[in-house]
Amino acid sequence: MSKLAILGGSPTVTGSVSPFITVGAEERQAVCDVIDSGLLSGFYGSWSEEFWGGPKIKALETAWIERFGCKHAVSVNSNTSGLIACMGAIGLTPGDEVIVPPYTMSATAMAPLFYGGVPVFADIRDDDFCIDPSQVERLISNKTRAIIAVNLFGHPARMHELRKLADQHGIHLIEDNAQAPTATEDGRYTGTIGHIGVFSLNCHKHIQTGEGGICTTDDDDLALRLQMIRNHGENVVRDTNTADITNLIGQNYRMTELSAAVGVEQLKKTDQLITPRIELAEYLSAGIGGLSGLTVPQVRDGCRHVYYVWALRMDPDVLGISRATFVKALAAEGVRVSPGYLSPLYKLPVFQNRHAIGNAGFPFTLSDRTYENVSCPVVERLQNHELIMFEICAYDYSDEQKAQIVAAVHKVHDNLAQLQDLDLAEQ
């Protein structure tokens, strides 16, 4: 029996680890070329050829269309702005409800608020951590205008099922695909199954431009609306007087030529960047998968997981210790882990206090929905007791360190008895 590091034994994972650097010579050259051209942004906010952006924007959008097999790709300066643009593009109006998961980055649930929409939280599934279509169905009302589903941690939500549901009810399905580029469900890329998909290119994502995002759609009208919102579209309506779109207030969500040039190079490296993540995740899953009380990420039949996060589920009753103790023991062994992901979004003050815009409760006063007693038992259980995030995918581990991570989990698992006293002391 080896002594656990938390009790004074030696840590299992040794050596330092550096972040996984995803940009290199190609991106540097691409940025230099843009600087040499003098054109750092090719956009012009009124009706002209420049309304659609400069050469690098067009190159990125064309390459994105080819890669993901969609009809339109509209670049934006973040996934957040892309999600907000989606709300405008589908014509969300104050009081409309948008069903969202509570387990996601806040931007997913904030987007509707910008148009006076009211987010309604549907619980997630505990096998893929994504929104549960049966919970969505339960919450659809005559005020529901859209669903925003998130392909969390790199695994597809049940997108085809959600799309069917959305179509049956005549509402829009938006895919927040920030964490899942090249994930697939039944042969289709996530981000192309809903009416609009939104990708993130921020610096933490599989492929990046520092900040940035791409909206994908097969719908010509939605694409035009997204392009109008991206770039002061009210001027286009004034200048051309051709579009029958007059109720869109434009923003400035434009990506620079510099970012787009980086994006073109990153897109070429997509497989090169994502394949090692998948290999590492599968290695961990194979090494840890058989241990009692631990569940490694599940990949649904017909799906491809791209592992933005490798998340383990533990059953405290089976292990006989709390998650807090298990995580502390792993951390002491040198494994980078954290308990849970983000607190369910309905707990944010913006919802609990019903203060989004002004102090009179707008837009929440336009709906009967409340947030004090939201019933999402699955997300509460996962976040409070079961889910453990392994910070592996963003780091450049050696083969030896990968083996040590697996060995560290086995060591803690094999020596749970040593932790039980500690656990009791902590309660």
Q: Are 278 and 305 in contact (CB under 8 A)?
A: yes
Which residue lies nearer to ligand PLP by CB, 37 or 343? Answer: 343
Which residue lies nearer to ligand PLP by CB, 165 or 255? Answer: 255
Residues 199-218 contacting ligand PLP, CB under 6 A: 200, 202, 213
Tell which residue, 96, 153, 83, has the closest CA to residue 125.
153
Q: Are 22 and 266 in contact (CB under 8 A)?
A: yes
Report the alpha-carbon distance of residue 151 to residue 154 in Å, rounded. 6
Which residue lies nearer to ligand PLP by CB, 179 or 184? Answer: 179
Residue 218 is which amino acid?
D
Q: Which helix (H) or strand (E) holds 294?
A: strand 294-295
Binding window for ligand PLP (CB under 6 A); candidates: 26-34, 103-111, 325-333, 353-361: 103-111
Which one of 12, 80, 192, 227 is in contact with ligand PLP (CB under 6 A)?
Answer: 80
Which residue lies nearer to ligand PLP by CB, 13 or 89? Answer: 89
Which residue lies nearer to ligand PLP by CB, 74 or 319? Answer: 74
Residues touching ligand PLP: how many (CB under 6 A)? 14
Report the alpha-carbon distance of residue 153 to residue 26 in Å, rounded. 28
Positive or negative: CA dihedral 315, 318, 323, 329: negative
Which residue lies nearer to ligand PLP by CB, 73 or 107? Answer: 107
At its nearest, how many Å lie between ligand PLP and the CB of residue 341?
10
Residues 404-423 contacting ligand PLP, CB under 6 A: none
The encoded tokens of residue 174 equal: 């938006």
Residues 140-199 contacting ligand PLP, CB under 6 A: 150, 176, 178-179
Report the alpha-carbon distance of residue 410 to residue 298 in Å, rounded. 20
Which residue lies nearer to ligand PLP by CB, 78 or 285? Answer: 78
Q: What are phi and psi of 123, to 5 degrees?
A: -65, 165
**What does the DSSP assignment read for 32-75?**
HHHHHHT-S----SSSSGGGG--HHHHHHHHHHHHHHT-SEEEE
Q: What are phi and psi of 354, to 5 degrees?
A: 50, 45
Report the alpha-carbon distance of residue 306 to residue 281 in Å, rounded. 9
Which one of 79, 208, 227, 404 is in contact with ligand PLP (CB under 6 A)?
Answer: 79
Binding window for ligand PLP (CB under 6 A); candidates: 9-17, 34-42, 76-84, 281-289: 76-84
Which one of 12, 41, 75, 78 is in contact with ligand PLP (CB under 6 A)?
Answer: 78
Which one of 104, 135, 231, 259 is in contact with ligand PLP (CB under 6 A)?
Answer: 104
Which residue lies nearer to ligand PLP by CB, 80 or 227? Answer: 80
Tell which residue, 200, 182, 188, has the closest CA to residue 159.
188
Tell which residue, 122, 149, 159, has the closest CA to residue 137.
122
User: Rule CB under 6 A: is residue 251 a binding residue for ligand PLP?
Assistant: no
Report the alpha-carbon distance of residue 94 to residue 31 in Å, rounded. 42
The rounded Cα 262 to chain-centroid distance in angstroms is 21
Which one of 12, 108, 135, 209 is in contact with ligand PLP (CB under 6 A)?
Answer: 108
Which residue lies nearer to ligand PLP by CB, 100 or 378? Answer: 100
Binding window for ligand PLP (CB under 6 A); candidates: 51-59, 75-83, 225-233, 335-343: 75-83
Judged by DSSP in three states, 232 sits in coil
Binding window for ligand PLP (CB under 6 A); candidates: 74-82, 84-92, 127-135, 164-172: 74-82
Binding window for ligand PLP (CB under 6 A); candidates: 77-85, 225-233, 338-346, 374-382: 77-85
At its nearest, how many Å lie between ligand PLP and the CB of residue 151?
8
Q: What are phi and psi of 214, to 5 degrees?
A: -140, 130
Which parts of this chain interact with ligand PLP (CB under 6 A)? Answer: 78-80, 104-105, 107-108, 150, 176, 178-179, 200, 202, 213
